[in-house]
Amino acid sequence: MTKKVAVLAVNPVNGAGLFQYLEAFYENGIQYKTFAVAETAQIKTNSGIGLQTDDAVASLKGREDEYDALVFACGDAIPKFGENAGKQYNQDMLAVIKTFNDKGKIMVGHCAAALMFDSAGVGKGRKTALHPFIKNVVKGCIGTDEKTVIDGNIYTAQTENSISILLPELLKALK
C-alpha cells in the first residue's frame, strides 16, 4: 500500500521545488495533502502566483498519525524566518516536524529543510544535503556538500535543482 504524505509549503514557496514533489506523487498514485505554513491555506510562490493549498499547518497538529511522511517545501519565506520565528504558524511547523520525526516517519526536504529540521531538534548526527549558505549553521545534523543525502529516515536535497535526483529513491520508499 502506498503511503500518505503531508506537504508543508512556506509562504512564499519555491514553486519549482513544491511541484516537483506534488506532480511526482500525483503521477505515482501517492496520496498527499498540502499544508500552508501560514495563517490561512492561501499562499504565494516566490514567483508571485497565488496557490490554494488544502489547509493551514495548524490543522496538521495532532493529526500527524494520519500520514507516513512529511515534506518541507522551501521558499523565500525562510531567509526571513528569524523575523517570524515567533509566529504561531512557524511554531506549529516546528512542532509538527518534531512529532513526525519522533514517530519515525519519513522526513523530506530541500534547500533550508535541514535547518528547519535542525531547529526542531530533528536529525541529530544525521548527514544532510542543504543550501551551501547554511552548511555551517546547522548544529545537530551534519551539513554536507552532497546534491542529495538519505540518512535513516531523512531525505534531503541541496536545492530544488537536485530534487529530481532524490525522487526515485523517495518514491520507492513511499510505495
CB nearer to its own copies: pick between 9 and 70: 9
CB nearer to its own copies: pick between 32 and 72: 32
3-state secondary structure of 38: coil
| Cell matching residue 14 | 519555491
CB of 99 to its own copies, least distance (A): 24
- Provide the total of helices (H) and of strands (E) in the chain, helices listed first: 5, 11
CB of 76 to its own copies, least distance (A): 9
CB nearer to its own copies: pick between 136 and 172: 172
To 10 degrees, what angle do helices 163-174 and 15-27 make? 30
d(CA 105, CA 88) in angstroms, rounded, equals: 23
CB of 124 to its own copies, least distance (A): 32
Instruction: Kindly list the residues in this chain that would bind its own copies in the complex (CB under 8 A).
Output: 14-16, 18-20, 22-27, 32, 34, 45-53, 160-161, 164
Q: How far apart, in Å, do the first and last CA atoms of the chain sit?
A: 6
CB nearer to its own copies: pick between 132 and 152: 132
